[in-house]
Amino acid sequence: MLNFSEEELKQELETLNKEYEQYKKMDLHLDMSRGKPGKEQLDLSQGLLSVLEKNEDCFSQNHTDCRNYGLLDGLPEAKQIFAEILELSPEEIIIGGNSSLNIMYDTISRAMLFGVYGGEPWAKSGKIKFLCPAPGYDRHFTLCETFGIEMIPVAMTNAGPDMEAVKKAVESDEQIKGIWCVPKYSNPDGITYTDETVRAFAALNPKAKDFRIFWDNAYAVHFLDEKNDEKLLSLMQELKKTGKEDMVFMFSSTSKISFPGSGISALGASKNNIELIKKQMFAQTIGCDKMNQLRHIRYYKNADGIRAHMSKHAELLKPRFQAVIDALKTELEPLHIATWHEPKGGYFVSCNLPDGCAKRTVSLLKDAGVIMTAAGATFPYGNDPHDSNIRIAPSFPPVEELKTAMALFCLCAKIAAAEKLLKEKTNK
C-alpha cells in the first residue's frame, strides 16, 4: 500500500469502503475494550465457591478462625503463595482484597499523606512527578491524574523502559518520586524486562531519597505456554545486593487467575516498608477478608497449584492470541502498515499503525459495532504523540467472534492507512 499510486489508492479505498459497509450491516456488538477473562476462564475456578462447606473448614493452618476479626496483613498460607510468585519472603508480603489497583491507590495515598519509609509526606514536597513507560497501563496514569502527579513519558523498548532516560531523569530531579512498571508481559506490549534492565533499576541512585519503583507484576504467571514462559530477574534480590531494598513496592493479584470480582491481591516490599505500612493500616481496618483468602488457599493449595491452574487458562487464551497474530500477519504485514510485539504471555497485543491512524481506526470499529480501548489510552494524559498505538484485548470474546472482530480491525486499519496516504499524495 505504501507504494500505491494516487489512482491505485483511490481504487483500493473504494473497495475497502464497500467491504466495510457490509460489516456495518451485520449489526455487530463486540467488546474488546478491556482485558477481561472470558466465561470459560471464570468457569475454571468455579470450585472456589464450594471449597468451604463446614464450620471446621473455616480454620487456617495456624488455627485462626477466619470468620472472625484479626490478622491485619493476611493469612500466612496466602503470604507464602505470593512470596513464591514474587520471589520474596512471607514477611515481605501484605495480602489485600480483590484488586491490586486498590492497593496501588492506597500506597500512593499513604505516601501523599504520611510519606514512605524514610521520607516526609509527598504532599509537602511540591509538585510530585512519576516516570511512565509508554505505551503502558492506563489505570496507572489515571491514578497519577487523580493525585495531581505530573507524568513524564519514557519510551518502551524491546528490553523494557529506556533505562538511560530513566537514570538521567531520576538522578537529576528530586521531584520524581516514582516510576510505574509492568515488568513481565507488559501492558500492552507483552514485553518482559531483560536481566540488564532489572539490574539497571537496582543500580539507580535517585536524587529523591524517597523514590519508589512501583513494580506491578500483574502477569507473573500468565504464560501462553509454560515451556516458553519468559523469566523475570528478581528485582528485590538485585536491590538487596546494593542495599536498596526499600526502593520497591511490588503488586500482584489473582484477578485474572480466579475471579476478578473476588480474588485476592498482594503488596510486596522490604521489611522496613511493610512494618510502616502495617502501622498506617491499623487505623484503616481491623482485619482482612480471611474467608476469601482461605478459599483460594484450599482450592489452589500453593504456588505450584496456581501455575498448574494457569496452564488451563493458557489452553483457552493461546488460540485467541493466535487469532490476533494470524490476522495481523495475513492482512497487515504484507502491506507494511503495522508492527507489533508477539507476546508469550499477558493479556494484550499492542499494534502500532502509521502515524495518525489509531483514532480513525478505533472510530471506524466503533461505528461498525466493535468497541476497543480508546486510542491514546496507553499514554499519559491519553496523548499518543504519534496517534498510532492500539491495545487489542483478545481474552473476552469467543474465538469465532474474535476472528470476525480482527478481520474488521484489519479492514479499518487499511481504510485509515489508505486515507492517510491518499491525503499525503493529494497534498503534494
- String of DSSP letters for 269-301: --HHHHHHHHHHHTTT-SB--HHHHHHHHHHH-
pLDDT at 425: 85
Residues 129, 268, single domain; the answer is yes
Q: Say if 96 falls within a structural domain.
A: yes
Count of domains observed in the chain: 2
Domain limit, last residue, from 301, 330, 364: 301
Question: Cα 96 vs. chain centroid, distance in angstroms?
Answer: 18
- Whether 225 and 354 map to the same domain: the answer is no
Residue 270 has which C-alpha cell? 522490604
pLDDT by residue for the chain (428 residues), tens only, comes to 778 888 999 999 999 999 999 999 999 999 888 899 999 999 999 999 999 999 999 999 999 999 999 999 999 999 999 999 999 999 999 999 999 999 999 999 999 999 999 999 999 999 999 999 999 999 999 999 999 999 999 999 999 999 999 999 999 999 999 999 999 999 999 999 999 999 999 999 999 999 999 999 999 999 999 999 999 999 999 999 999 999 999 999 999 999 999 999 999 999 999 999 999 999 999 988 999 999 999 999 999 999 999 999 999 999 999 999 999 999 999 999 999 999 999 999 999 999 999 999 999 999 999 999 999 999 999 999 999 999 999 999 999 999 999 999 999 999 999 999 999 988 87
**Do 264 and 355 share a structural domain?**
no
Residue 353 lies in a domain: yes
Cα maximum dimension of the chain: 79
Kindly state whether residues 297 and 312 are assigned to the same domain. no
Q: Which of 255, 281, 301 is the endpoint of a domain?
A: 301
Is the bond preceding 90 in cis, omega lying within 30 degrees of 0? no
Q: Which amino acid is at 243?
A: G
Shared domain check, 220 and 84: yes
Domain check: are 296 and 312 in the same one?
A: no
One-letter-per-residue 3-state SS of 359-414:
HHHHHHHHHCCEEECCCCCCCHHHCCCCCCEEEECCCCCCHHHHHHHHHHHHHHHH
Strands 150-157 and 93-96 come out as unpaired
Contact indicator for 168, 204 with CB cutoff of 8 Å: no
**Domain-terminating residue out of 271, 301, 331:** 301
Residue 1 domain flag: no
Q: Are residues 295 and 149 in the same domain?
A: yes
Tell me: do 69 and 27 sit in the same domain. no
pLDDT at 38: 94
Q: Which helix (H) or strand (E) holds 252?
A: strand 248-253
User: What is residue 10's predicted lDDT score, i.e. its pLDDT?
Assistant: 93
* Dist CA 210 CA 115 (whole Å): 8
Same domain, 296 and 329: no
Contact 240, 207 (CB under 8 A): no
From the list 229, 236, 272, the residue with the least C-alpha distance to 251 is 236
**Where residue 25 sits, what CATH number does that domain have?**
3.90.1150.10
Backbone dihedral angles phi then psi of residue 265, each to the nearest 5 degrees = -130, 170
The verdict on residue 40 lying in a domain is no
| Alpha-carbon distances of 397 from 9, 30, 185, 228, 258, rounded to whole Å | 33, 7, 21, 25, 18
Q: Within this chain, do residues 276 and 142 fall inside the same structural domain, yes or no?
A: yes
247 in a structural domain: yes
> Is 13 a domain residue?
yes
CB 95 within 8 A of CB 72: no
Could you tell me if residue 39 is inside a domain?
Answer: no
Q: Examine the domain organization and report whether 189 and 289 are in the same domain.
A: yes
330 with 293, same domain?
Answer: no
Neighbour-count burial for 373-404, b at 16+ CB within 10 Å, e otherwise: bbbbbbbbeeebeebbbbbbbbbbbeeebbbb
pLDDT at 34: 86
Parent domain of 312 = 6-32+307-426
